[in-house]
Amino acid sequence: MTSFRGTSPESPSLAGLRKNSSRPRDVFNIIMTGLSVLCVVITLIPLVLVLAFVTIQGAGSITPALFTELPPPPGLEGGGIANAIIGTLIVVAIATLISVPFGVMAAVYLSEFSKDGQVARWVRFFTNVLSGVPSIISGVFVYALLVRTGLTGYSAVAGGVALAVLMLPTIIRTTDEALNIIPQEIRWASIGVGASRYQTVLQIVLPAAIPSILTGVTLAIARAAGETAPLIFTALFSSFWPNGILQPIATLSVLVYNFAIVPFEPQQELAWAGSLILVLLVLLTSIIARVVTRQKTY
Amino acid sequence: MTASDVPNTRSRTAGEKKFDGFFVGLTTAFAIGTGLLLLAISFIILMAAIPAIREFGLQFVIASTWNPVQDAYGALPMIYGTLVSAFIALLIAVPLGLGVAIFLSENFIPLKIRTVLVFMIELLAAIPSVVYGLWGIFVLIPAMKWFFGLFGLQFIGPSMLTAALILSIMILPIIIAISRDSLASLPPDLRQASLGIGATRWGTIFRVLIPAAVSGIVGGIMLALGRAMGETMAATMVIGNSNQISLSLLEPGNTIASLLANQFAEAKGLQVSALMYAAFVLVIMTLVVNILAQVIVSNVKAKYD
Amino acid sequence: MVEQVAAQTNQTKTSTVFKIEDCDIYYGSYKAVRDVSMEIPPNQITSFIGPSGCGKSTILRCLNRLNDLIEIFHLTGKILYHGQNLYDSDIDPVEVRRRIGMVFQRPNPFPKTIYDNIAYGPRINGFKGDTDEMDALVERSLKRAVLWDEVKDKLQESGFSLSGGQQQRLCIARAVAVDPEVVLMDEPCSALDPISTLKIEELMMELREKYTIVIVTHNMQQATRVADKTAFFNAVPTESGGKVGYLAEFNDTQEIFGNPKETATRDYVTGRFG
Ligand SMILES: Nc1ncnc2c1ncn2[C@@H]1O[C@H](COP(=O)(O)OP(=O)(O)O)[C@@H](O)[C@H]1O
Ligand SMILES: [Mg+2]
């Protein structure tokens, strides 16, 4: 075989075996491969540009004041976005407190107890469809349900509920998948020593699935922290420190939106700084999620 | 030792039994509650929209004035803007996304590098939309101004095209992820069979792999369409929020989502109801698209499971 | 109701632990096993042998109602446990499983520490003792499973850190920790190497003193080595094209292997089987 390679006189039929980059078929293959590489490059350009600009524009404003002070009044210099950072933490915490127990329990039903597969199929279907519903719709829903009715008014709670609606499908789906990976034998083993269903679920199945569930929850939280649309008219905004969970509250994402569209440079700089924090948060959680996933038992 | 020697430790108390039943019931309630949430959302929005529905009827979706001062509301410009911006975004994102998906599902480059690329594309999806909006205002719009200036074209900045560009960036990851999944879940013998009868790599991709994966790809495109129609922040920050229909893509426009983002916090009376009506229209539009997408995607899954 | 079971257990504690009466077992409309009747004696090892698919696991899982987890499963006939039908409507399957433990084919430790693997069962069974008593119980169970010496220095390590054979003994220790009367084992050695297998077999012989053991095995040598009584199950084709399992012969192990009454049994034990 090797002797064929590099020897020049060959029968014509064997010469046909060699690569020939001017043959139309090969030209087509080379062009298509080149085009697909181009697609990858074009796709990554916005990512690089967004990350670059956010870093460049935002890094300058990263000062201690950013994390300790309130935003300046329109037109004035200085200040920080501390109230929005705390506000985001509060609203996201409320959303997590609602969506995680709700979502995990619903997923437990889907993967552990749904005897009649029909119900589970419908619930899964609607959950998937729900995840495609625009995020602003969850804001509209909560506005109609809690804000306009005066149940909570514009408040951190209203914002938290709106974000919870968005987190729910992610949490259910990831938990459902995480539970499905747990080998059936583990459940049998637990049932075999006489465990009740809740004991098997709470003490064996859920703990075994925790790494994967945490991954899902982390990703859901990261996504929720960056959501703006559902908060604009539920959590509203506030230039002041958070004042209880039944008052309007500042959040990072709404701050970026509000300050991006005002004509004052100090505000715009804070918007970039807020963006940088949001992006770092997303980056960090994506990486954490990856690390946690690696520690899975199953 | 027999069972009866340790009776106390092995009989379930009535409380334990009750709690077990309660626990199962609770999970069932939560699951069914989630299933019904979508219905509840639609219903509550519909209820809130009733005054406007009474007032404007179906006229609402074909009337093209949105005037809070005179309480005259028609959503045609926003419906138009929603559809047009989403379709242009698809036009840009589908070929690009498909190209990337093919590249990532073939073995052009080592798996390690592909994993990094996949991670970067996931990151693209994870960046908050308000950050894209900010970037659009301060980077993309000036860049487009400069670009159109080269051709002596007047470009004011916020426009349908700007919004569509940003939307296309935001939906790319969905298209890539789902197309790649559908390509990767094809049975390996399909590729081998085609290569085995002497087809080239790209011949195999176009004649065998893409046709076999087409319904998954279409499902992914539908999901992306739904996302583009409902995406709010990136659109509202760069589209110009003009409530008039303009056929030029270089002129400002509006989408339903961005109308809602702009007006809800300050709306009163009938305007709230009209906004609810608009929101309901958006719900219906995205539901139709998403349900179709789910049906397609789940059929694909069923085929290879 | 619970007391009833216990009471009956006391009253009728006889020379039989299980009495299976005319059992037909179905998965949906598919009849997997037909017409099984047999009696399983206490403090002995009873083995189930037979070609695969003839319903050995199916019957074994009926003995502690583990088949309840399979939706399409149902059973006609009676399975009496000390005279009490396990399938009576007022029987709580969870309590049945507390008395009748199970060891599975593949070792399936919980993703917990070795200690917690053992302590889990007693805890959920309402173990009232303090830490010292639990420590003692864990030690006793691990000793019973002849695992103590190998793990006593690493009780806080994950159950997965053990070898396959050790994991299986951990599972046995876990089963005996709740002090069941019966331990069911479904091919407990089929995933293990010969040395681990030997250890488990020795263990079974010791456990026999205290527990009633029912073991499914595909290894006939194993049955001859450990079992006091052996049930040979066979499967025959049905008109509808399927297969249905039935109990071909049940007797002392020596009889089954040395002097089988049925031709099918003889063919099987002499390895002349299809
Ligand atoms: N969960 C189940 N659902 C449906 N059929 C089953 C199930 N488990 C076992 N069977 C069927 O019951 C018959 C007996 O199976 P099994 O008890 O596992 O046999 P063995 O353990 O003797 O190999 C087989 O035909 C098998 O296909
Ligand atoms: Mg079996």
Which residues of A fall within a CB distance of 8 Å from B19?
196, 198
Tokens of C87: 């399938």
Q: How far is the CA of C161 from the centre of ligand 2 (A)?
A: 27
Q: Considering Cα of B96, then B99, then B101, then B107, what sign does the dihedral take? A: negative
pLDDT band per the 50, 70, 90 thresholds, residue A15 = low
Average pLDDT, stretch C92-101? 88
Tell me whether residue A239 is in a domain.
Answer: yes
Kindly report, residue by residue over B90-116, the tens digit of the pLDDT: 999 999 999 999 999 888 888 889 889
Determine the pLDDT at residue A4.
Answer: 46
Residues 6+ apart with CB under 8 A from A134: A229, B226, B229, B230, B231, B232, B257, B282, B286
What CATH number has the domain bearing residue A147? 1.10.3720.10
Distance from CA of C99 to the nearest CA of A (A): 8
For B294, the 3-state DSSP assignment is: helix
Q: Is C77 in the pocket of ligand 1 (CB under 6 A)?
A: no
Distance CA A47, CA B275 (A): 34
Nearest CA in chain B to C122: B9
Q: Please give the share of chain A, as a percent, with pLDDT higher than 90.
A: 59
Q: Which chains touch B (3 or more CB pairs under 8 A)?
A: A, C
For chain C, what is the mean pLDDT? 88
Instruction: Check CB contact of A199 with chain C, cutoff 8 Å.
Output: yes
Partners of residue C183 in chain B, C-beta under 8 Å: none
CB pairs under 8 A between B and C: 43
CB-based contact, C122 to chain B, within 8 Å: yes
The span from the CA of A132 to the CA of B227, in Å, is 7
In the structure, what pLDDT confidence band is assigned to residue A117 with cuts at 50, 70 and 90?
A: confident
Residues of chain B under the 70 pLDDT cut: 1-11, 300-305
Report the candidate in B253, B250, B260 with the shortest Cα–Cα distance to residue B141. B250
Contact indicator for C63, C100 with CB cutoff of 8 Å: yes
Cβ of residue C204 lying under 6 Å from some atom of ligand 1: no
Region A249-273: mean pLDDT is 92
The residue of chain C nearest to residue B20, with distances taken between CA atoms, is C94
Q: Is the pLDDT of residue C194 over 80?
A: yes
B293: CB partners within 8 A, 6+ apart: A132, B219, B220, B222, B223, B225, B226
Q: Which of C34, C50, C24 is nearest to C216 (CA)?
A: C50
User: Mean of the pLDDT values across residues A25-38?
Assistant: 87
Yes or no: say if C188 and C103 are a contact pair by the CB < 8 Å rule: yes
Q: How many C-beta atoms lie closer than 10 Å to residue A65's C-beta?
A: 14
* Position with higher pLDDT, C1 vs B221: B221
Helices marked H in C55-113 — which ranges? 56-62, 93-99
Per-residue pLDDT tens for A165-212? 999 999 999 999 999 999 888 998 998 888 899 999 999 999 999 988
Residue to mutate, C34, C57, C58, C232, ligand 1, most ligand atoms under 8 Å from C-beta: C58
Question: In terms of CA atoms, which chain C residue is nearest residue A198?
Answer: C124
Task: Return the CATH number of B53-304, one of 1.10.3720.10, 3.40.50.300, 3.40.640.10, 3.20.20.80.
Answer: 1.10.3720.10
Any domain includes A105: yes
Is-contact A76 A239, C-beta < 8 A?
no
Cβ(C232)–Cβ(C217) under 8 Å? Answer: no
Question: pLDDT tens digits, residue range C54-84?
Answer: 999 999 999 999 888 888 899 999 999 998 9
Is the per-residue pLDDT at C11 higher than 70? no
Q: Supply the DSSP symbol for C49.
A: E
Dump strand ranges (E) for chain B: 66-67, 72-73
- Find the range with the poorest average confidence among A66-75, A222-231, B48-57, B222-231: A66-75
A91 contact partners, CB below 8 Å, separation of at least 6: A156, A159, A160, A163, A231, A235, A249, A251
Write down the domain spans for chain B: 53-304
pLDDT for the residue B2:
38
Q: Which token pair is C14?
A: 């006889």
> What is the distance between the alpha carbons of residues B19 and A159, in angstroms, rounded to a whole number?
33
User: C124 contacts in A (CB within 8 Å)?
Assistant: 193-196, 199, 203
Which chain A residues touch B167 with a CB distance below 8 Å? none
Report the gap between the CA of A278 and the closest CA in chain B (Å): 7
Do residue A186 and residue C110 have CB atoms under 8 angstroms apart? yes
Return d(Cα B227, Cα B231) in angstroms, integer: 6
Judged by CB atoms closer than 8 Å, whether chains meet at A194 and C94 is answered as: yes
Q: Report helix, strand or coil for C45.
A: strand
Measure in Å the smallest separation between the Cα of A3 and chain B Cα atoms: 25
Give CB contacts under 8 A, 24+ apart, made by C265-271: C265/C232, C265/C234, C268/C49, C268/C50, C268/C51, C268/C232, C268/C234, C269/C220, C269/C232, C271/C220
Give the pLDDT score at B301. Answer: 63
C58 lines ligand 1 (CB under 6 A): yes
Establish if A37 belongs to a structural domain.
Answer: no
pLDDT of residue A295: 67
Residue C40's SS3 state is strand
Burial of B245 (0-12, 13-18, 19+ CB in 10 A): middle
Which residue is listed with tokens 């956010």?
Answer: A54
User: CB-based contact (8 Å) between C120 and chain A?
Assistant: yes
Question: Is B237 in contact with A258 (CB distance < 8 Å)?
Answer: no
Beta carbon of C62 within 6 Å of any ligand 1 atom: no
What atom in ligand 1 is closest to the CA of residue C186?
A: 21
Instruction: Closest CB to C179: pick one of B1, B8, B17.
Output: B1
Burial of C267: CB neighbours in 10 Å, binned 0-12, 13-18, 19+? middle
Q: Which domain holds residue A172?
A: 64-293
The verdict on C191 touching B (C-beta cutoff 8 Å) is no
- Per-residue confidence (pLDDT) for residue B89, from 0 to 100: 96
C52 has a chain A CB within 8 A of its CB: no
Distance, in Å, from the CA atom of B102 to the CA atom of A29, rounded to the nearest integer, reads 13
Instruction: Kindly report the pTM of this predicted structure.
Output: 0.85
User: Residue B20: its chain C contacts at CB < 8 A?
Assistant: 94
State pLDDT tens for residues A86-98: 999 999 999 999 9
Ligand 1 atom showing the smallest separation from residue C48 Cα = 22
DSSP state of C157: S
Which residues on chain C are in Cβ contact (under 8 Å) with A212?
A: none
Answer yes or no: is A241 within a domain: yes
Res A20: pLDDT: 66
- Residues whose CB falls within 8 Å of the CB of residue A66, separated by 6 or more in sequence, listed in order: A80, A81, A82, A270, A273
3-state secondary structure of B268: coil
Residue A5 has pLDDT above 60, yes or no: no
Which of the four pLDDT bands, split at 50, 70 and 90, describes residue C203? Answer: confident
Query: Would the pLDDT of A8 be above 70?
Result: no
**Ligand 1, atom 27: nearest CA belongs to which residue?**
C53
**Confidence band, pLDDT 50/70/90 cuts, at residue A258:** very high
Q: Determine contact: C178 vs chain A, CB below 8 A.
A: yes
Predicted local distance difference test score (pLDDT) of residue A66: 86
CA distance B51 to B44: 13
